[in-house]
Amino acid sequence: MTEINNQIVIIGGGHNGLVCASYLAKAGKQVTVLEAAGQVGGAAITREFAPGFKVSAGAHLLFMLDKTVCKELSLESAGLSFSQQNMTSTALAEDGNHLMIAGDSLQGANISSADQAAMKEYRRFMNRFAGIINRLNNRIPPRVGTKNRSDWIGLAKTALDVRMLGRDDMREFLRIAGINIYDILQENFENPLLKGALSLDGVLGTNLGPRSNNSVFCALHRLSGLQGMAVPRGGMGAVSNTLAMVAKQHGATIRTSATVSRILMDGDRVSGVELQDGEQITARTVVSNADPKKTFFDLLGARNLEAGFARRIQNIRMRGNVAKLHLALDGVPDFNGLNQNQLADRLLIAPDLDYVERAFNHSKYGEYSVKPVAEISIPSLHDDSLAPPGKHVLSAVVQYAPYQLKAGWSEEKAVLTDKVIDLLAAYAPGIRSQLVHKELLTPVDIENEFRISGGHWHHGELAIDQFLMLRPVPHSAQYASPVNGLFLCGAGSHPGGGVMGSAGRNAAHAVLGAKDIEGENS
Amino acid sequence: MSQINQDDKVKPIDFSTKAHYLTKAFRSPFYSRQEPLNHLKEWGRWADYLSPHAYTCSGIEYFAARNACTVFDLTPMTKYHISGKDALPFLNRLVTRDVSKIKPGRVGYCCWCDDAGQVIDDGTIFHLSENTYRLCSQERHMDWLMTNTLGFDVLLSEETHNVAALALQGPTSCATLKRMGLDGIENMKLFDIRHFNFEDTQLMVSRTGFTGYLGYELWIDPEHAEVLWDRLFEAGNLHGIKPMGDEALQMLRVEAGFIQAAHDFMPANATIRTGHTRSPFELGLGWLVDFKKPVFNGRRALLEEKKRGHRYNLVKLDIDGNKPGCDSYVFTKNKKRVGTVTSATWSPSAKASVALASLEAPHGKPGEELLVEIYYQKELKWSRVMAKARVVKEVFFDPPRKRQTPPADF
Ligand SMILES: Cc1cc2nc3c(=O)[nH]c(=O)nc-3n(C[C@H](O)[C@H](O)[C@H](O)COP(=O)(O)OP(=O)(O)OC[C@H]3O[C@@H](n4cnc5c(N)ncnc54)[C@H](O)[C@@H]3O)c2cc1C
């Protein structure tokens, strides 16, 4: 091996890896991104799933993209644009009497004026509380128990943020932040469709039901992007492709089909990586966009870690519970009671709170939901690059589908696919006859395609005990790991998953400010 | 990545033959021999076992250990069997010292830390044969060891209950074993391990101990425990052999300057309050820390500590007067409280009141004069002295025979 040079290698070209690469390259570093897949983006990609039909194969709606990242990397002038923005969420009712939720205004479903008023207040305080999380998102989390000045300032800032809510809101924030969204929605609203739809904010992408603690926190995290729902033109891959372009413009090298098989060590620090074909690349700094378990166990090896830290990594909860359905349709699907305009909304199947909780119950016992919940988007209605003329693609996040299915996924996958299509058919009776192609990604497929251990949306359950200075685990929550020269930059780090870019940006700052712990003979 | 399934790495203990639910405690495999000799009829608890505080009188037992030899039942000591192709790297990541320096047939003293560099326990590693080790310690550590197996191909089992063990310590211990027929025993060096044919089984002998004198530890399957005891006492009869309990051992080990978990430091994984644990440097075990190893538990924290300086010093104190300074506060000459005594005894051999004490750094340099506040009682009347004390460098009892090979017969 040649002498360790100052090159920075980033394992994984997910959107966070690309954001990190852009910042580091911008700061003048020599950066190489190594992505195992044939294209960049990780779970934020657009890819073909049937001849002529393309879809955002992982994330399909954009609502958390870090505005600072957007601005600092000038993503919009680099070409990022949207085919839809500020989307309305439509809570579907089988009888066609749907509820339209646009910001804090409600329409349809015989909604009461009490609910309409309550919605204004709900949005007000939820957005206010989400603002606190928003301000945490693009900061390196402070550590507790140190004497370090910046840690204290970080903690004090957050405490002050909470205090500045004023007496009533602060009390309410402290009351609800750790509890479940079921109770909060019951306290505030009457309409079952409304409650069902809003509960999804707290549970999509997680292992929670509406009645699970932490679901309010997850809802606040989801809202912390402080922006409406959008679909990038060209699908989610457009975000990643734009980022890759920016990274390259700043001088980063990006290699695809380059799978890292292990992280190399020289004494107590990293010295580079080895690719699957045996090629070794030396680097003094290795930043991993892969999830923490993959990074520390599969690539570095548990034996290169101290045991307490290894145990914490082992104990990270990160089993996915989400499936993704892609349908290629030979025409516009006909949903009861929706006109073509409304069809392009974010469509939700979550008719009431108990429906969602029941759907969740199955997953506790290693079964998928008999009647799942779904978040549906038909992006081709506003973007003709995704499907041949007159044809359409439907993309749906489907819950719950546990990673460790008791019956195993090999045969059950086809059964669940059918069940989900049946579910859609209850709202769009003709949809079966329009099917050209279908694809369902179970958490195991998600694990295989995106290389995310457990197939978890956030690279690790999003919960108060796995957030901020606890994410992924203490002693690596500041992006630097306990191994000199090894950093994390993916969704497994603060502030978690979703297409945001904040983790990548924060990690770049941590890399730029890092110092080794120097050992003897190392 | 490790090949062995995580669940298959640990062999569960078979309790089916133990009637501990009847007795609420295990009887040592030597119990039938200990019981008639235990004149005091008092039993203490050592982990799961009944263990005598003293058989007759701890003073007499102490003198036997320093002038003849004594037998101490070591069976309750925690023993783990560690094997498999990664046994060495596993141990090297576990403990702070370089285990590759402990060759097959040798024993090494060691300590191990949590990630924060705080000592969990100290103990001995027996390198039984290539890739096979025994780890002995005061406390139980299965959970921590299991945690440590992650990523290593090792097999782990607790063999505390499968191995009967006796410590034979004192100046006539070698002569006793020779008479018992262990040919060549006199050639064993300190920390050597040898196997001998004994009755129809194998007896393992190590030249190790907790008394700071010439001594051996004998390891055998529990079925042969009684015959070992009998043969030992037969052979030792003319060499002044006596059974010894825990009280005498405490005096001996403090004289010899050996620390003990839960006495001189809190096992880090059993300690809740921050600041109540100690690093190896704070226990005088810095010589066991080898930073040349690229990774071991606590390494990063200990590197930081080396830069920052440590908080405590564990020292030996020579205290004026004859009152053991158990549980006492230690003060500077101008009455500033700087620490506590962790273990103390009257040392009959050194004719001094001696102690181990944990002092706030930088206190504890050899020669430093301190005061120890000793409370003592005579017929229910309490008195207090502020006894002068000096920090000493050498252990209180360190005879050349400890290392001599071959050792003298008496
Ligand atoms: C089904 C699903 C639906 C989702 N829906 C949404 C949504 O609608 N909106 C939203 O905001 N978020 C959504 N998310 C979450 C979001 O997609 C992820 O949290 C986010 O994409 C994670 O980005 P990342 O860059 O941190 O990691 P990833 O996107 O996972 O990127 C990690 C990259 O590392 C690469 N890699 C791993 N190991 C190696 C190796 N050994 N060598 C080389 N490369 C390697 C992988 O191939 C991958 O490209 C969804 C996630 C899933 C799974």
pLDDT band at A520 (very low <50, low <70, confident <90, very high): very low
> Is B303 close to A311, i.e. CB distance below 8 A?
no
Give me ligand 1 centre to Cα A81, in Å. 21
Helices A443-450 and A409-427: angle between axes, nearest 10 degrees: 110
Residues B89, A298: C-beta atoms closer than 8 Å: no
Domain B311-392 part of CATH 2.40.30.110? yes
Taking contacts as CB-CB distances below 8 angstroms, the residues of chain A near B141 are: none
Q: Are A155 and A144 in contact (CB under 8 A)?
A: yes
CB contact under 8 A, A307 and B94: yes
Residue with more model confidence, A323 or B5? A323
Domain limits, chain A: 2-44+64-82+235-317+461-519
Structure-token match 């999003």, residue found: A462
Given this model, what pLDDT does residue A508 score?
A: 97
- The reply to whether residue A311 touches residue B147, judged by beta carbons under 8 angstroms, is yes
Q: Which of A264, A303, A309, A453 to mutate to test the interface with B (most CBs of B within 10 A)?
A: A303
Cβ contacts (< 8 Å) between B148 and chain A: which residues?
307
Ligand 1 midpoint to CA A490 (Å): 8
**Cβ atoms of A252 and A22 closer than 8 Å:** yes
ipTM exceeding 0.90, yes/no: yes
In B199-328, DSSP assigns E strands to 201-206, 215-220, 241-243, 312-319
For residue A464, what pLDDT is reported? 87
Which residues does a 6 A CB cutoff place in the pocket of ligand 1?
A 11-17, 34-37, 42-44, 58-61, 64, 205, 259-260, 289-290, 294, 299, 322, 324, 397, 446, 450-452, 457-458, 490-491, 497-499
Nearest CA to ligand 1 atom 50: A59
B381-392 vs B369-378, strand pairing mode: antiparallel
Mean predicted confidence (pLDDT) in A317-330: 97
The closest-lying atom of ligand 1 relative to the alpha carbon of residue A456 is 53
Q: Cα torsion for B28, B32, B34, B35, to the nearest 10°?
A: 110
Query: What residue ranges do the domains of chain B occupy?
Result: 31-74+162-244, 78-158, 311-392
Q: Within its chain, how far is the Cα of A455 from the centroid?
A: 11
Q: Residue B7: its chain A contacts at CB < 8 A?
A: none
Rounded to the nearest integer, the mean pLDDT of chain A is: 94
In this prediction, residue A519 carries a pLDDT of 54
Q: Which sign, positive or negative, has the C-alpha torsion B221, B225, B228, B233?
A: positive
Q: In 3D, which of B164, B137, B141, B159 has the Cα closest to residue B14?
A: B159
* Residues of B in Cβ contact (< 8 Å) with A268: 294-295, 299
Q: Which residues pair with B373 in a beta bridge?
A: B329, B386
C-alpha closest to that of B131 among B87, B90, B193: B87
Q: Is the pLDDT of residue A522 over 60?
A: no
Secondary structure element (H or E) that encloses residue B158, with its range:
strand B155-158
Nearest CA in chain A to B305: A517
* Mutation for A interface: B300, B306, B307, B308, most A CBs within 10 A: B300
Mutate to test the pocket of ligand 1, among A45, A55, A60, A289 (most ligand atoms within 8 A of CB): A289
pLDDT in tens, A33-76: 999 999 999 999 999 999 999 999 999 999 999 999 999 999 99
Please tell us whether the domain made up of B78-158 is placed in CATH 2.30.110.10. no
- Under 8 Å between Cβ of A325 and A395: yes
**Percent of chain A at pLDDT exceeding 70:** 98
Q: Which helix (H) or strand (E) holds B380?
A: none
pLDDT at residue number A151: 85
Q: Token pair 């306290």 is at which residue?
A: A187
Separation of A76 CA from ligand 1 center, angstroms?
22
Rounded to 10 deg, the angle between the A237-249 and A15-26 helix axes is 20
pLDDT for A401 beyond 80? yes
pLDDT digits (tens, 9 = 90+) for A131-187: 999 999 988 888 887 888 888 888 888 888 888 899 999 999 999 988 999 999 999
Q: For residue A45, how far is its CA from the centre of ligand 1 (angstroms)?
A: 9
Contacts of A303 in chain B (CB under 8 A): 86, 89-90, 93, 151-152, 295
- The beta-carbon neighbor of B147 closest among A268, A304, A307 is A307
User: Can you read off the two tokens belonging to residue A389?
Assistant: 């003329």
Tell me the chain A residues in contact with residue B300 when contact means C-beta distances shorter than 8 Å. 306, 482, 517
Positive or negative, the CA dihedral A383, A385, A387, A391 is positive
Report pLDDT for A468: 86
Contacts of B303 in chain A (CB under 8 A): 517-519
Select from B188, B198, B248 the least CA-distant residue to B225: B198
Report CB contact under 8 Å: A307, B298.
no
Q: Considering the domain B31-74+162-244, what is its CATH architecture?
A: 2-Layer Sandwich (3.30)
CB A16 within 8 A of CB A137: no
Burial class of residue B229 in the structure, from the number of CB atoms within 10 Å of its CB (0-12 exposed, 13-18 middle, 19+ buried): buried
Closest approach of chain B CAs to the CA of A157, in angstroms? 26
Alpha-carbon distance of A248 to A404, in angstroms, equals 39
Instruction: Note down pLDDT in tens along chain B; length 410 residues.
Output: 678 888 888 888 777 776 667 767 899 999 999 999 999 999 999 998 999 999 999 999 999 999 999 999 999 999 999 999 999 999 999 999 999 999 999 999 999 999 999 999 999 999 999 999 999 999 999 999 999 999 999 999 999 999 999 999 999 999 999 999 999 999 999 999 999 999 999 999 999 999 999 999 999 999 999 999 999 999 999 999 999 999 999 999 999 999 999 999 999 999 999 889 999 999 999 999 999 999 999 999 999 999 999 999 999 999 999 999 999 999 999 999 999 999 999 999 999 999 999 999 999 999 999 999 999 999 999 999 999 999 999 999 989 888 999 998 87
Residues A2-44+64-82+235-317+461-519, CATH architecture: 3-Layer(bba) Sandwich (3.50)
State residue B342's pLDDT score: 97
Give the type of residue at A335. F
pLDDT value at A1 more than 70: no
Nearest chain B alpha carbon to A294: B1
Task: Say if residue A2's pLDDT is above 70.
Answer: no
* Cα A492 to ligand 1 centre (Å): 10
**Structure-block tokens of residue B347:** 């040392």
Name the band, by pLDDT with cuts 50, 70 and 90, for residue A518.
low
Beta carbons of B303 and A482 less than 8 Å apart: no
Instruction: Determine the average pLDDT of the residues in A462-487.
Output: 91
* Tokens found for residue A9: 């290698």
pTM: 0.94
CA distance linking residue A202 with residue A199, whole number of Å: 5
- Pairing type for strands B241-243 and B215-220 reads unpaired
- The DSSP bridge pattern shows strands A285-288 and A8-11 to be parallel
* Structure token digits, residue B118: 């705080």
* Interface probe, candidates B115, B118, B148, chain A, greatest A C-beta count within 10 A: B115
Instruction: Count CA atoms within 13 Å of residue B196 on its CB side.
Output: 21
